Chain A
Amino acid sequence: MNEFQDFSYDVIVVGSGAGGGMAAYTLTKAGHRVLMLEAGREYDPTTETPMFETVHQAPLRGVGTPDKDFGFYDATVDGGWTVPGEPYTTGPNSEFLWWRARMLGGRTNHWGRISLRFSPYDFKGYSMDGLGYDWPVDYAEMAPWYDETEKLVGISGNNPGLDDVPDSAPGVLQPTFKPRIPELLLKAAGNKLGIPVVPMRRAILSRPIDDRQACFNATSCGRGCSIGAAFQTTTSLLPLARATGNLKIVTDAMVKTVETDGNGRATGVTFIDRTSREDVTLKARVVILAASACETARLLLNSKSERFPNGVANSSGEVGRNLMDSTGAGIAGLVPGLSGRPRYNEDGNTGAHLYVPWWGHKQQLAGKLDFPRGYHFEYGSGFVSPRMQLGNFARGYGKELRDSVNKAYGAYVALSIRGEMLPNANCFMEIDDNTKDQWGIPVPKFHWKWSEHELSQIKHGLATAKKLIETMGGYTLGDPPPAERAIKKGGEIIHEVGTTRMGSSAKDSVTNHHGQCWDSNNLFVMDGGVFASNPHKNCTLTIMTMTMRNASWLATELNRGAL
C-alpha cells in the first residue's frame, strides 16, 4: 500500500466524473482503497445549486456569456468552451470545441441525463456494414451490466420493444413521466408517418433511491440537482464511495503525467497542486485514467519515456486517433394549433418525456438509405420557463407586442438530431508542441472533418424533422439548410470519445476489452476514450456501464493478488 496524507491506497483514479466516479464506487465497495485526483475544485450540489432561482434574478437574465457559455446557472465551474490559462488548438481547416469543467463530478453535474443503452447493432457496427470497428464485447455480455448500472444510477423510462431500445430487465427502470400536449402531438404525427415516439430514458429519479429524492418536476437539470433526483456523481457515487471509508478525494490536483518503469509498468502519476503550483509524484499499484477522452489521451501522449517515446500505452500509435463526437443539428418550427392552448404546468422533469429513437436499421440493411448508422431526435416544446429569447417573438408595440409573444409562447417546437459518427482519419488529436497551458503542460491540438456519412445522415434528419413538423400542422422556419451548414462543429455536442479505443489486438487498439492498456497491464482507461464506436446514444450511460464491468473485473484481479 502507498500513502498520501496519511491515507493508504492501492489504486489512483484520475477524474471524478462518470468514469472516475463509477470506478471509485465499484472498487471501494469491493473493499479496495482508492485515491481520487480531481483537477477542479471541491463542489457540493446540496448547497451550490440554484434551485428555483429565476433568470430574472441572474445577471443579463441568465443568458450565455463567454464566462458561462450555457447560461449563468449552468453547473459548470471554471470551464465551458474555454478554461482560463488552459488553451487548446486546432489544425488547419479544423473547427473543434472542447467543453471542460474544473469541479468535483466534472461534467456529470450539468449533463442532459439522457441515458440510452446501446443495442446489439451498436456494438457490432463493423460486422453489419463494414465501417469503423466492432467493440471487443457484445450486447449479450453488456446487458446485465446495463441493468446493474441503470438500477444504481436510477433511470426513468420503459421498454417499448424496439430494436434500437433494448429491454432493461424487469424492475430495473423507474416509472416514466407523463407526456405533455406537444409531445402527444408529435407522437400522433409519428403514428401517421410510421416513426416511433416513445418515452425518453433519463437519469432522473421518479422514485427515491437511498438519500436521493424523486424529481419534484421543476427547475432545470443543467443547473445540477440539490435533491439528487438528477444523477451526478457528487450526490450519488462519490458520497457512497466516501461512506465506505475507502476513498480519499484530492481536489485541485491536475495530473500531468503517468509514471512508468523500464518494463512499461505504471508506477504512479505526477500532478500539479493548483494551490501551491508544486509537482507531487505519487506511487500506486494500479492507475485508472478517467479524465475524459481527450484529457486522458493528452496525459498518455505527454507521458514520454525511453520505453515509451510516443507516450505511454501508445505502441499502436492509436492514442488520440478515432476521435468521434455525435452529429448534431437542430430545426425549429411553429405549430399554430398549439397557439393559445390552455395553460397548465408543463415543466415536467424539464427535459423531454418522449423522443424519437432510430427506426431505420432494417431499411439500412435492405440498402434503402444512403447513409450508415442511426440518429435520434430530441424534442423541445412547451410552456417553458421564460427566457430572454422570448423577445424574438415580439413584434410591433403595445397590445400587438403582448399578443404576439403570448401567441408564440408554447407554440414553438424543435427537433434536435443526435447521430452516430464513424471514425475517420481526419478526426484526431495530438499534442501541440508549441503551446503549453499555465501549468506548463503541452496542450491538445484537434483535427476535424466530417465525412459524407455524417452529412448524408444530417440531410435525412432535417428532411424528416420538417416532415414531422408539417404533419403536426406546423412550419419549419424556412427550408432546412444544406447539411454542411446545419451540422454542429466537432466536439460541440460534447460526446467526444474514441481516443484510446479498446479492441481485440494490441496492434490497432490502446486497451483490451477491460480497458486495460495493452502496453501496461496495471494502467486502465475508464472513460469515453475506450469507445470503439460512437452510437447515436449519448455516451455517459455506457461510460458508467463499461466502467462498472471493468472495475468489477479489476477488483477480482486485485483480490487474487494479480497486478
Chain B
Amino acid sequence: MSSNSDIIFSAIDDSLKNCVPAKQDNKTHRMSRRETLKWLSAVSATLTIPLTTPALAAERNIAKSDLVGSFAPWPKLDIKPVEAEGYGKDPKLVRPDTSPWPLTLTSEEKTKLTRLSDILIPESENFPSASAIGVPEMIDEWVSAPYPRQQRDRSFLIAGLEWLDYEAKRRFDDSFANCSENQQMEIVDDIAYSSEGTPPDLDTPTRFFAALRQLVAGIYYCTPEGTNDLGYIGNVPIVGDYPGPTTEALDHLDKLLNELGLTL
C-alpha cells in the first residue's frame, strides 16, 4: 500500500473520517476555509449514507394525496439484498471477466439513472456524456454487487430514484422520467447543493444526489474518455530512465516557489 494513489486516497479517507473541522477561517490562508470546504462538499455529504428501513413495506405506488408537506418524504422501501456470489479471493486478474454478477436494476430505474448521469456529466465539446460511455450500466454493476458497501449504496440509490418520482408527482403530478427537462432540473437544483439553508426535508435527497454524483464522476473519470479529460498521461512503458517533469512543469513550480518564498 505505498503507491502514490494508495497513499493519497487512504489519507483522504482517514482525514475525512477523523479530522476535526476547523473552527474559523485563518486569514493567512491563501484560499478561504469555506472555499476548501466547497471543494469537499460532495465528499463529506456522502459519508453518512443512511440505510433505509428494510422492515417497512414497499410504497412504490404512492398517491399524490399522500404527498403532503413542502417536499416528498423519503421512501421506505423493502429492498432485498442481492444474492449473487462475489468474484472470490483468487479472481483472474489479467484481462478480468466483465460483469461477474447479474445486473439487477429495473428499466425504470435505469431510465432515471441515465437521465441523472447525463445531467451530472453531459456531452461537452471534447468529451462524451456519462451515458454515452456506459456509466449507468456500471452503476448497475455497482449496486448489483454482493458486497456490504455496494449493498448500502444500492438501498440508498434505489430509494433516491424512487424519491424523485414522489417529488415529481407532488410537484408536477407525473413521474420524474415523464417530466420536462425544465421540471426535472427544478427538482435537481433543489438537491444538487448542500448548504446551511437546505430544508431538513431535503437533507437525505441531497445526500442521495451527492452519493450518485460521487459514483457517476468516479466511474466516468476511470474510463479512457474521462482519463483523457483529466489530462492523465501515463500507464505506458518508458524506455530508459524516468525523464521527470517537463520544462513547462518546472517553470510553473519556480513561480509557485517564488510566491511561497521557498527555495529548493
- CB within 8 A of B90: which of A77, A331, A408? A77
Taking a contact as CB atoms under 8 Å apart, the answer to whether B22 and A478 are in contact is yes
Q: How far is the CB of A229 from chain B (nearest CB, A)?
A: 11
> A165: CB under 8 A from chain B?
no
Taking a contact as CB atoms under 8 Å apart, the answer to whether B89 and A395 are in contact is no
> B88: CB under 8 A from chain A?
yes
Taking a contact as CB atoms under 8 Å apart, the answer to whether A351 and B93 are in contact is no
Q: Which residues of B contact A471 (CB under 8 A)?
A: 260, 262
Q: How far is the CB of A404 from chain B (nearest CB, A)?
A: 7
> B197: CB under 8 A from chain A?
no
- CB within 8 A of B87: which of A48, A59, A404, A475? A59
Considering the chains assembled together, what is the distance between the CA atoms of A479 and B20 in angstroms? 5
Q: How far is the CB of B41 from chain A (nearest CB, A)?
A: 5
- CB within 8 A of B96: which of A50, A184, A218, A378? A50
Taking a contact as CB atoms under 8 Å apart, the answer to whether A397 and B192 are in contact is yes
Residue of A nearest to B85 (CB): A67
Of the listed residues B3, B98, B217, the one surrounded by the most CB atoms of chain A closer than 10 A to its CB is: B3
Chain B residues 10 to 46 lying within 8 A of chain A, measured CB to CB, are 10-16, 18-22, 29-31, 33, 36, 38-43, 46
Which of B61-69, B104-112, B140-148, B155-163 touches A? Answer: B140-148
Considering the chains assembled together, what is the distance between the CA atoms of A448 and B97 in angstroms? 40
Q: How far is the CB of B201 from chain A (nearest CB, A)?
A: 21
Taking a contact as CB atoms under 8 Å apart, the answer to whether A397 and B188 are in contact is yes
Known contacts A179-B244, A414-B11, A473-B30; A479/B19 CB under 8 A:
yes
- CB within 8 A of A59: which of B16, B145, B188, B233? B145
User: How many A-B residue contacts, CB cutoff 8 Å?
Assistant: 371
Taking a contact as CB atoms under 8 Å apart, the answer to whether B96 and A67 are in contact is no
Considering the chains assembled together, what is the distance between the CA atoms of A520 and B64 in angstroms? 81
Per-position 1/0 for B82-123, Cβ under 8 A of A: 000011111101111111100000000000000000011110
Taking a contact as CB atoms under 8 Å apart, the answer to whether A342 and B248 are in contact is yes
Which of A9-17, A231-239, A250-258, A386-394 touches B? Answer: A386-394
Known contacts A56-B223, A398-B120; A67/B31 CB under 8 A:
no
Total interface residues in chain B, CB < 8 Å: 107
Residue of B nearest to A480 (CB): B19
Per-position 1/0 for A140-177, Cβ under 8 A of B: 00000000000000000000000000000000000101
Taking a contact as CB atoms under 8 Å apart, the answer to whether B22 and A178 are in contact is no
Q: Which residues of B contact A79 (CB under 8 A)?
A: 89
Considering the chains assembled together, what is the distance between the CA atoms of A28 and B49 in angstroms? 56
Considering the chains assembled together, what is the distance between the CA atoms of A349 and B234 in angstroms? 11
> B48: CB under 8 A from chain A?
no
Residue of A nearest to B20 (CB): A479
Residue of A nearest to B88 (CB): A67
Footprint of B on A, CB under 8 Å? Answer: 41, 47-50, 52-62, 65-68, 70, 72-73, 77-80, 83-84, 112-114, 175, 177-181, 184-185, 187-189, 191-192, 206, 215-223, 329-332, 334, 336-338, 341-352, 378-399, 401-402, 404-409, 412-416, 471-473, 475-481, 485-486, 494
20 contacts between A and B (CB under 8 A): A49-B93, A56-B222, A60-B141, A66-B147, A188-B257, A188-B262, A215-B242, A218-B236, A218-B237, A330-B14, A331-B19, A385-B5, A385-B235, A391-B217, A396-B192, A398-B119, A402-B124, A405-B230, A409-B231, A409-B232
4 shortest A-B CB distances, which residue pairs?
Answer: A380-B7, A391-B218, A112-B2, A478-B19
With A56-B224, A392-B214 known, 13 other A-B pairs at CB within 8 A are: A181-B249, A181-B253, A192-B263, A217-B237, A342-B252, A350-B5, A383-B233, A386-B230, A388-B222, A392-B12, A397-B192, A481-B20, A486-B14
